[in-house]
Amino acid sequence: MTNAQLYNERHAQQISDVLSAYFAELVHVVIRIKEPGEYEQLKTPALYLAGLRKAAFEGALTELEADIGLQHIKQTYSAEIIMQTVKAIPSGK
């Protein structure tokens, strides 16, 4: 069963009715069911946010590798940072 099989034409009308009542003006809703293969490139909000987090983390790793203080520690103590072990600290949000 696909998600499209759960949809029927009444849904668009019901959504139109609710939005029209809320906004006190006529709202027309059109729902188009995508064909298989057409939606692989779409991102859900969760995937979009995950991509933003990944990009931010990768940027932070690049900054960490270039950090002068870290470079000093590595040179002074012949230290090595195993970048695969670096973890993000949760922001508390």
Same domain for 29 and 61, yes or no, is no
Kindly tell me if the per-residue pLDDT of 91 is higher than 70.
yes
pTM (two decimals): 0.51
The answer to whether residue 93 is domain-embedded is no
Same domain for 30 and 49, yes or no, is no
* 30-85 per-position pLDDT tens digit: 988 777 676 667 777 888 899 999 999 999 899 998 999 999 999 999 999 888 88
Q: 80: closest CA among 58, 61, 65, 63?
A: 65
How many structural domains compose the chain? Answer: 2
The answer to whether residue 73 is domain-embedded is yes
Domain range holding 53?
43-87
Give the pLDDT score at 27: 95
The answer to whether residue 92 is domain-embedded is no
Same domain for 52 and 77, yes or no, is yes
7 dihedral zone (left: phi>0; alpha: psi -120 to 50; beta): beta
Q: Tell me the DSSP string of 61-74.
A: HHHHHH-HHHHHHH
